Structure 1
Amino acid sequence: MSVVYTLLIGIFMLAGLTAQAQTSQQKSIKYKSISPATDHYKIISIGNPIAKGGELESIVFPEKEFRRGAYLKMRTVYLDMPVNTFKIKPYPANSSEQTRQELDFLLELQQKRTAADAALTDTMAIVYYDPYTVNPNEADYSRNVNSLFYVGRNLGPWFTPQQLPVTSRVLQNVIQDATFYFFSLKAQFNRARPYHLEPALQNLEAPGHASYPSGHSSASHVHAYLLSHLLPAYKDAFLANAYDMAFSREIRGVHYPSDSEAGREFAEQFVTQLLKNKKFKADLEAMKAEIHKAMAANKLSSVN
């Protein structure tokens, strides 16, 4: 562990801030053995985000590697507002103290991750929804639509697109909207991936789009906040699944912790906007009725 990161932990604990929030380890279900026994997002975020200067500041996500331009032209279903409605602060500069701390943290994760950790992140890397894969005859359709039910999977084997077709339709619309907005933010910020700045990082994949905010974190937290609105009794499980999804991307060396946090912040704002939308609220009521009916059939509490 770096000396700077160790000192930051000491400062954080002396300030008494760790008592006010769950640690990363407590947030996790699948990655307790590798998640820090602190809230690593809060610790790293107190680093100085200002540029020190030098060659690092010229590095952005390479234009030739960007492979998701179609998402930037996609039509939305519910929300129609400027991208800057979502107030995501600029990412810390490439040459900043904070980015260096983030890269050091990712290098520590790389040292700690086991083959089993890496294999688990492989399974989570393919949990995402592509709004352009909508034909049931397509080979990737099943993976695609089932991804919408990952965060809520703890509810039981009945929580599937096959048993909840209304919920599936609404979630497809929601994530189509979210994808347009978080990819638009990615294109605006155009942040380089961690492995573009740190050659010692052994990233487990090379996504074809910029880093900030994290798409996996954004989408999984949208699911978590939306399902928590419907089923607050299960909120902790939903948020734990979203945490693990975001953290898996850090373990893979493809996202900085600040990418994960920006995705969570985007999701919180996005769901807030959704809940104001008249068309969405009508669909949400239909989704809610379907879920509560299924829960009653499975003799589960649907506290709301």
Structure 2
Amino acid sequence: MRSTNIIRTILLNLLFAGIVSCSFSQNIHPLEPVNSYYKTYGSLSALQNSSRVWMDTIKFPWSEYSQGAITNSLVRTVYLSNENEAKLPGLIHPPANSSDQTRAELDYLLSLQNSRTKEQIDRAQYIANIGSWFNILNPADPDYNENKKQLFYIADTIGSWYNYQNFPATTQLLLNCIQDIRVTEFRLKWNFKRPRPYQLEPKLQPLTQIKSPSFVSGHTLWAYTEAYIFSEIIPEKRESFIQRADEVRWSRELLGIHYPSDNEASRIVGWYLLKYWYNNPLFVKDLNKAKQEWAEKKSLYQK
């Protein structure tokens, strides 16, 4: 009798474990193939080149770190576990400063600098001012409404009605994700301390300068990660979300402040963030609320 109860208990535990596993595992959309031009750079040697070894002594200067970059790396994540966060630096690595790959990427940025038009510059600078933050919480803050509005930038092709005012559950999901994205961004930057392109190539004339290391790109990270999140809510619009993120990626290179490899790493990390978030039942719960909200409200606004 006792052995029967033990067996029953074991079977129930296994069944429960299976239910939990099914509840929180998810077959997410595969990561899109690497961009064709980055694939070219990625095929080059990422190892040190002895003819340019002096470049490998250069790190992002401590004196140029902003207080915000340091502070944001100390914040706790919402959905991302410590265990999964620890895996991220091992998934990516910048090429050596002296490598053939970095040299090719710097030459590419110089070519962009020599060919960029006023229209392209205006567009890239417009995108540079977009990006939400998790710590703008006071409604009296002059940036409060704009910060929430920009949460939906990647999905603005849906329509202006798809916004923080009409979709509060989606807004809360995005704010929590943005917290994880920003923390991840600045911890990876701190880990790799890659100098900005203009700190390696004196001929580069960036259209702005950033007070944090180059690897990974924060703009590109939130853009692709949000594209993946919105794709979970509205999967049929994934292509348009990815195209929006692609434009953000391009803008960082046109401005002369990110290597293509910074952006490619961000694209990969964003996909893994979504994958790891699915291990957290709180994320699954919040995402399901956003999906339900979309299902219930889209017919009210779509024509």
TM-score category by the smaller chain? Answer: 0.7 to 0.9
Secondary structure of the residue aligned to 1:155 is coil
Please give the TM-score of this superposition, normalised by the length of structure 2. 0.84
Partner letter of residue 43 of structure 1? T
> Does the 8 Å CA contact 1:145/1:161 hold for their aligned counterparts?
yes
Matched, 1:263 2:266: yes
Aligned to 1:77: 78
Secondary structure of the residue aligned to 1:172 is helix
Residue of 284, 287, 298 corresponding to 1:284: 287
Matched, 1:124 2:127: yes
> Does the 8 Å CA contact 2:136/2:143 hold for their aligned counterparts?
yes
Unaligned 5+ runs, structure 2: 1-31
Partner letter of residue 55 of structure 2? L
Please give the TM-score of this superposition, normalised by the length of structure 1. 0.84
Deviations 1:17-45 (A, max 9, x none): xxxx8896xxxxxxxxxxxxxx2111111
> Does the 8 Å CA contact 1:212/1:259 hold for their aligned counterparts?
yes
Aligned to 2:159: 156
Matched, 1:49 2:46: yes
Q: What's the CA shift for 1:293?
A: 2.0
Matched, 1:99 2:102: yes
The alignment-based identity, stated in percent, is 33
Aligned to 2:144: 141
> Does the 8 Å CA contact 2:64/2:211 hold for their aligned counterparts?
yes
Q: What's the CA shift for 1:294?
A: 2.3
> Does the 8 Å CA contact 1:127/1:143 hold for their aligned counterparts?
no
CA distance, structure 2, for counterparts of residue 115 and residue 22 of structure 1: 31
Change (3 A) 1:280 1:23: closer
Partner letter of residue 71 of structure 1? N
Q: What's the CA shift for 1:224?
A: 0.6
Consecutive aligned runs of 4 or more in structure 1 exceeding 3 Å deviation: 21-24
CA distance, structure 1, for counterparts of residue 114 and residue 91 of structure 2: 31
Aligned to 1:179: 182
Matched, 1:192 2:195: yes
Q: What's the CA shift for 1:88?
A: 2.9
Aligned to 2:63: 64
Deviations 1:247-281 (A, max 9, x none): 10000000000000000000000000112210111
Secondary structure of the residue aligned to 2:299 is helix
Larger radius of gyration: 2
Range that drifts further, 52-61 or 77-86: 77-86
Q: What's the CA shift for 1:298?
A: 2.2
Unaligned 5+ runs, structure 1: 1-20, 25-38
Range that drifts further, 253-262 or 47-56: 47-56
Partner letter of residue 220 of structure 2? S
Aligned to 1:298: 301
Higher relative contact order (CA 8 A, sep 6+): 2
CA RMSD for the aligned pairs?
1.6
Q: What's the CA shift for 1:47?
A: 0.9
Q: What's the CA shift for 1:150?
A: 0.5
CA distance, structure 2, for counterparts of residue 22 and residue 223 of structure 1: 18
More helix by share: 2
